Structure 1
Amino acid sequence: VCWFVTHAKTFMHRQVAVLSDDDLYRLWRVFNFLAERDEGGGVEFPVVIDAEEVELLLQKFHSSCGTKFNTSEFEMIRKEISSFNVAQVVNLVEEHHCKGADAEAMSNAIQEMYDELLVEVIKKGYLNKKGTSKMTAWKERWFVLTPRFIYYYTSRDEMDRKGSI
Structure 2
Amino acid sequence: MSTGLDRVRDQRRLGRLDQPREIRLVPRLYYDPEAFGVFSERIARFLGTARFLVYMTGFVLVWFAWNVLAPMTWRFDPYPFIFLTLILSLQASYAAPLILLAQNRQDDRDRVQYEGDRARDERSVSDTEYLTREVASLRMAMSEVATRDWIRDELQHLLKDLEGRRRDG
Q: Which TM-score bucket, shorter chain as reference? A: under 0.3
Q: Who wins on radius of gyration, i.e. which is larger?
A: 2
| Higher strand proportion | 1
> What's the TM-score once normalised by structure 1's chain length?
0.22
